[in-house]
Structure formats: C-alpha cells, structure tokens
Amino acid sequence: MKKLFLVAALSLGTMTAFAQEEETAVQEVATEVMEAQDAFAEIALEEVPEAITAALEVAHPGATISKAYVNEAAQYKLEVAKEDGETAELYADAEGNWIEM
C-alpha cells in the first residue's frame, strides 16, 4: 500500500512540473510577440506606402491615418480614425496586405 501511495505522489509531482514548463514556454512566446509589436518606430505620414493607403481606402472608406509606425520587417502599424469617430489600430505589410497581430 505504501508503494501505491508513493507512486501516486510521484506521478502528481511529475505532472505539476510538466505543466509549469508548458506555462513558462507560453509566457516566453507571449513576451516575444509583445517585444516584436513594441519594435515599431514612428514615421511621417508621407512615408506610408501608397499600397497601404489604397488598401485602407478600400477596407475602411473615409478613414484617415492619425499616426504610422514601421518595424525592421517592413510591417506598418497604423492608428486610424474612422468616419464614425471610432479609432482602430491596423497592421499591414509594405504591399498593403493586412496583418493580424
């Protein structure tokens, strides 16, 4: 009976250790994503590629870009003001393709 109780206790301890490792890995990935998003540098609105402004007009007619940022991967983060007064944060590549971040 002692062996059965010992095996059960060791099994539970092992499962807990694996769960902690997985949680740590998820936190590391989330941190990397946050760092990637924070690597954007503000640029002048005139520096936003024409492909992005054209894509914005198609996807969100009447919306205007308030601020624009770019990162090393040539991905653009746009702070956009819509006609109805709402604001949005959109991401696009240099060709005007929308990115989910």
Helix (H, G, I), strand (E, B) or coil at 18: helix
Give pLDDT, residue 4. Answer: 55
Give pLDDT, residue 77. Answer: 97
Strand partners, 89: 79
pLDDT profile of the chain (101 residues), mean per 10: 59 57 58 61 97 96 96 96 92 96 84
Give pLDDT, residue 33. Answer: 52
Q: Measure Cα distances from 81 to 17, 33, 63, 66, 95 in Å.
A: 47, 25, 6, 6, 21
Q: Are residues 61 and 95 in the same domain?
A: yes
pTM of structure = 0.62
Structural domain containing residue 14: 1-38
Residue 31 DSSP label: H
Q: Are residues 50 and 95 in the same domain?
A: yes
User: Under a CB-based contact definition with an 8 Å cutoff, are residues 69 and 76 in contact?
Assistant: yes
Number of domains in the chain: 2
Q: Are residues 33 and 50 in the same domain?
A: no
Q: Are residues 2 and 20 in the same domain?
A: yes
Q: Are residues 89 and 55 in the same domain?
A: yes
Q: Are residues 54 and 85 in the same domain?
A: yes
Q: Are residues 56 and 93 in the same domain?
A: yes
Give pLDDT, residue 92. Answer: 97
